[in-house]
Amino acid sequence: MISSDKIPNNVDLHLNKRLQRALEHWQPAYIQWWRDMGPQGFQHFHEIYVRTAISVDAAGWAHFEYVKLPEYRWGIFLADPVVNRTIGFGDFFGQPVWQEVPGEFRNQLRRLIVTQGDTEPASVEQQRWLGHRCPSLYDMRNLFQVNVEEGRHLWAMVYLLHSYFGRDGRDEAEDLLARQSGNQDKPRILEAFNEPIDTWLDFFMFTMFTDRDGKSQLLSLSESSLDPLARTTRFMLTEEAHHMFVGDTGIHRIVERTCQLMKESGFSEDVRRLGGIDLPTIQKHINLWFSLSLDLHGNEISTNAASYFANGLKGRAEEGKWTEHRVIETTYDLDIVENGAVKREAVPMRNAMNEVLRDWYVDDCQSGVTRWNKTLEKYGFSDRLRLPDRKFNRGIGQFASIHTDPDGHMLSDDEWARRKYEWLPSPADKKYLLSIMNQPIYETGKFANYIAPPARGVNRTPINFEYVRTEM
Amino acid sequence: MATPDSAVSTQAPLSFERHPCSYQHWKLTFDGPVATLGMDVQEDAGLAPGYKLKLNSYDLGVDIELADAITRIRFEHPEVHTVVVTSLRERIFCAGANIFMLRGSTHSWKVNFCKFTNETRLGMEDASAHSGLKFLAALNGICAGGGYELALACDEIILIDDANSAVSLPETPLLAVLPGTGGLTRVVDKRKVRRDLADFFGTIAEGIKGKRAVEWRLVDAVVPTSRFKEAVAKRALELAATSDRPSSGPGVTLNPLSAVITEDAYTYSSVSVAFDRAKRSATMTVRAPQTPVEQTPEAILAAGDQFWPLRCFREIDDAILRLRVNEREIGTIVLKTEGDSALVLGADQVLLDHAGHWLVREVIHFIKRTLKRVDLSARSFFAVIEPGSAFAGTLFELALAADRSYMLDDPDQHNTVHLSAMNAGILPMSNGISRLQARFYGTPDQVATVLAHAEPFEAADALDAGLVTFAPDEIDWDDEVRLAVEGRASMSPDALTGMEANLRFVGPETMETKIFGRLTAWQNWIFQRPNAVGPKGALTSYGTSDRAEFDYGRT
Ligand SMILES: [Fe+2]
Ligand SMILES: [Fe+2]
């Protein structure tokens, strides 16, 4: 039943009895989950032009073909091993990496993997209705590409659970399919993954900002002392890059279209009248998704983060670029809230690892915003998009207890309640976005009015390629 | 006032009096026969600076409110038959005792913290066993360590089934210590979890959730989020239906004790404690009622917290608690009584005549618990019985609780002790037997013999009967008593504490004695060991960027 042919892999699945047995139970449950909770309405009669990873080399992971979604060949891939790799940071710095999970860290590792793994199917669930509002077949294909790869990321995490965590791992793998985004009884672990993503602006923001948090996390896990985890996440990063490309260029294309509409109308206020998405609405969504994604990095001062680092389980992004890898004495300056006021404090850097990763993340986000602003500039507008202050709209960590405006100025509870929709999408904004998206565009080469076509098609195809075809 | 003993030291001496109006960490609400105790710990309202009470973790201040709430429900709300213990925080029930508080505390603070929290939980079980007040733990989120131990003290545990919330005792794997409020004992002794399963459970920090938690008897039921509230409400009512408490009030309001606390003395209406700091001792004097106590349940209800047995033992209870945490240096407590023994015996008769009335029942169990606190206090107690004292019946239990008793044998002065039926087993110790049974463990027939003695015992008779330790005459008296107190004060307090605890609890073991005994023997030992609190110990390094390092040698 479980065949290497149906499940492309580079982990010798055909020789691995334990993994075969585990997957025999899990794989049918996964397919059922995909049908129930994956893209709704595009499972049986639609063939999507998607990329399937069939090996880890350049040719292998850019293999394109038309598939029906439930027949996608979700595979298991680890990046090639690095010979004689040693642990790159923490208390075990310089020792050989682990090929097995040490008993001592089994629970911590399991928690890390389950938390990461839980986000993968969660996002598929959050996005499952978007196909019905797609702005083009090109975008629909991108959505489904992201979705199947998030599904594969779940496979990657489940591979680790099945291979290294015994019965507990199998139970956790089942629970990853049992929890559901927004389900009251079995919600996804992280709160941000329990809200539906129902507009395409939100989808692009999610792939721009939240998938980028995924990238931060994967980067830090790809440094892990547990070699299979490091190799798995390293390969996932190649796919993650595409997800962020979808988000980054999606927003960029909306900005571009908005510029065109502004040019036509002369005033940005009229963009909505022309059926486009005005810059303030775009800015509000940046504010929302950036702040939500900052929360996903966790508390500024975290004992878990310190112990993950000490044990070599989870490092910093691009650890190799740092000069000191044990980080015993080093401190890190960060803002903390004390008695309702913000002040700067030095904390041991190990405890500040979440914030260190957040710094990397903020920089990475900024480069996208800078690109979008180039387009505003090109069209001759002085308006600029920007990332809000880190303290803005936070639900986790030091700043959860205070309110600020996007510049980081403190606000009273009253003022926040009164003004928050100046900076965050309001119900009216959402209503507007849904109104311009309620007619999906299924015609090849056509694009919704609020978004510009991409610069080029997928895999050197023309933009009017039939990325999704129906077979009746 | 002596400095309280904590590195996370409280500024002022700690008081144990609380009132629901000013609870910081709990919300107590009532709905017919069901009361709900909702935990909502204020992070910044710890007893001492230096730690934040995150994730509904607790310190002694949180537990003092809990104890207050339970006592008030017993007395003030007879119409309450079930108490639901839950949390007001989403996805978090309780993360247990605050680790940073523990780390910053001195050894004796930790011991007193654990002792008090244990007494509170045993008090819940006492209410369930004897007062028809059932406890239902509604675990609406993560429930770790002391959080699970609180649940274990309840009659039943319902855990939310959200594929995430688990019960756990992570002390050993995470902190290299043991659960400090009877967790391990209750898992196997009360919930009867198989010992090998308990072994596994005790070593996994993330705990056990869902179906497995039920299969292993760690909880009674798991219920999905959408049906959780309803299931809890339903079960609470079912438990309430089994209660024999009255269906309606009124209860009895527990007013503030209005003690006068100074450097030299605690002064209450019926109790006073005078310090002799040079001798590291204090004298606690308990006064008999001045007039006959109220005779009927109606009159007792009307007297409320001024009913002498209740008033007096509330005061003793408060004094003992204050002495424990605020007066570390006071190692010896001389117990004295004053007044008319006949009035004490009269009060005993009222208690016995109406023992079936809910309020009288509560008073008797309150007296019982207070006397247990004396038994469990790490202080030397000497009863000193002089003319004019009132060591009769219930108050004679104080003499029986003491490590030794001295009774003046002066032919010129009348000096007697009396027994009553209150000494016959209605006020058992933690080991389940009466203080007379414990006293006469080697001569069990003597229990019935002394109880059959309806008359007062003169000093010589009391000595003969084994009711007192020594009966010096008037010539030796002052020296004997002085030397006893001074001699006691000169010895190692640690050794004395250990010796007293060994000798006080003769005879059978109960879950209660196991909990305290093992806490003392194991937890307090482990709490001192470098593997926990040394520079590289797990408790020291928890939450820092360092890893714990152990000395792997076993004893
Ligand atoms: Fe992913
Ligand atoms: Fe992704």
- The DSSP line for B294-362 is P-SHHHHHHHGGGSHHHHHHHHHHHHHHHHHHH-TT--EEEEEEES-HHHHHHHHHHHHHTTTSHHHHH
User: For residue B496, is pLDDT > 90?
Assistant: yes
Query: Quick check: do B22-240 and B260-499 share a fold?
Result: yes
- In this prediction, residue A395 carries a pLDDT of 93
Point out the residue among A107, A187, A350 whose CB comes nearest to the CB of B162.
A187
- In this prediction, residue B64 carries a pLDDT of 98
- In this prediction, residue A4 carries a pLDDT of 67
Amino acid at B208: I
Point out the residue among A107, A189, A310 whose CB comes nearest to the CB of B164.
A189
Q: How many C-beta neighbours within 10 Å does residue B357 have?
A: 17
ipTM score for this prediction: 0.74
Mean pLDDT of all residues in A119-146: 97
| Ligand 1 centroid, distance to A191 Cα (angstroms) | 17
User: For residue B4, is pLDDT > 60?
Assistant: no
B260-499: CATH topology is 2-enoyl-CoA Hydratase; Chain A, domain 1 (3.90.226)
Looking at A162-166, B6-10, B294-298, B401-405, which range is the least confident one? Answer: B6-10
Q: What is the CA radius of gyration of chain B?
A: 24
Give chain A's mean pLDDT. Answer: 93
Q: Sorting pLDDT into bands at 50, 70 and 90, what band is B164?
A: confident
User: For residue B1, is pLDDT > 50?
Assistant: no
Q: Do B545 and A111 touch (CB under 8 A)?
A: no
Question: pLDDT (tens digit, 9 = 90+) per residue, B467-480?
Answer: 999 999 999 999 99
Question: pLDDT (tens digit, 9 = 90+) per residue, A412-470?
Answer: 999 999 999 999 999 999 999 999 999 999 999 999 999 999 999 999 999 999 999 98
Mean pLDDT of all residues in A80-102: 94
Nearest-neighbour CA in chain B from A104: distance (Å) = 9
- In this prediction, residue B5 carries a pLDDT of 45
A74 in reach of chain B (CB within 8 A): no
CA-to-CA distance for A71 and A242, rounded, in angstroms? 21
| Ligand 1 centroid, distance to A356 Cα (angstroms) | 21
B215 in reach of chain A (CB within 8 A): no
Mean pLDDT of all residues in A71-98: 93
Beta partners for residue A342, in sequence order:
A337
A182 in reach of chain B (CB within 8 A): no
Residue B311: partners with Cβ closer than 8 Å, 6 or more residues away: B269, B270, B305
A109 in reach of chain B (CB within 8 A): no
Q: Do B545 and A327 touch (CB under 8 A)?
A: yes
User: For residue B119, is pLDDT > 90?
Assistant: yes
User: For residue B6, is pLDDT > 50?
Assistant: no
User: For residue A192, is pLDDT > 80?
Assistant: yes
Question: pLDDT (tens digit, 9 = 90+) per residue, A8-43?
Answer: 899 999 898 889 999 989 999 999 999 999 999 998
Q: Please identify, in words, the CATH class of the domain defined by B22-240.
A: alpha beta
User: For residue B356, is pLDDT > 80?
Assistant: yes
Cβ distance B531 to B122 under 8 Å?
Answer: no
Nearest-neighbour CA in chain B from A186: distance (Å) = 4
- In this prediction, residue B8 carries a pLDDT of 46
Q: Do B163 and A184 touch (CB under 8 A)?
A: no
Percentage of chain B modeled with pLDDT above 70: 98
CATH number of A13-470: 1.10.620.20
- In this prediction, residue B525 carries a pLDDT of 86
Based on the number of CB atoms within 10 Å of its own CB, is B120 exposed (0-12), middle (13-18) or buried (19 or more)? buried
Chain B interface test: which of A186, A300, A329, A350 (most B C-beta within 10 Å) = A186
Q: Do A310 and B224 touch (CB under 8 A)?
A: no
- In this prediction, residue B7 carries a pLDDT of 42
- In this prediction, residue A472 carries a pLDDT of 54
CA-to-CA distance for B358 and B352, rounded, in angstroms? 12
3-state secondary structure of B424: helix
Chain A neighbours among B 29-48 (CB < 8 Å)? Answer: none
pLDDT higher at A269 or B286: B286
Cβ distance A332 to A324 under 8 Å?
Answer: no
Chain B interface test: which of A191, A307, A329, A351 (most B C-beta within 10 Å) = A307
User: For residue B521, is pLDDT > 90?
Assistant: no
- In this prediction, residue B275 carries a pLDDT of 97
Chain B interface test: which of A172, A303, A398 (most B C-beta within 10 Å) = A303
User: For residue A322, is pLDDT > 80?
Assistant: yes
Give chain B's mean pLDDT. Answer: 94
User: For residue B519, is pLDDT > 90?
Assistant: no
Mean pLDDT of all residues in B256-275: 96
- In this prediction, residue A1 carries a pLDDT of 58
Question: pLDDT (tens digit, 9 = 90+) per residue, B83-96?
Answer: 999 999 989 999 99
3-state secondary structure of B539: helix
Q: Sorting pLDDT into bands at 50, 70 and 90, what band is B10?
A: very low
In chain B, domain spans:
22-240, 260-499
CA-to-CA distance for B266 and B276, rounded, in angstroms? 12
Mean pLDDT of all residues in A56-78: 87
Residue A443 vs residues A137, B23, B184: alpha-carbon distances, Å: 7, 65, 66
Based on the number of CB atoms within 10 Å of its own CB, is A23 exposed (0-12), middle (13-18) or buried (19 or more)? buried
Residue A105 vs residues A111, A232, A299, A304, B199: alpha-carbon distances, Å: 10, 18, 21, 12, 18
Mean pLDDT of all residues in B410-414: 92
Q: Which ligand is nearest to the CA of A236?
A: 1
Q: Sorting pLDDT into bands at 50, 70 and 90, what band is B3?
A: very low
CA-to-CA distance for A394 and A447, rounded, in angstroms? 35
How many inter-chain contacts (A to B, CB under 8 Å) are there? 51
3-state secondary structure of B179: coil
User: For residue B418, is pLDDT > 50?
Assistant: yes
Residue A416 vs residues A277, B22, B298: alpha-carbon distances, Å: 25, 29, 57
Q: Sorting pLDDT into bands at 50, 70 and 90, what band is A170?
A: very high
User: For residue B294, is pLDDT > 50?
Assistant: yes
Q: Do B225 and A184 touch (CB under 8 A)?
A: yes
Q: How many C-beta neighbours within 10 Å does residue B217 have?
A: 17
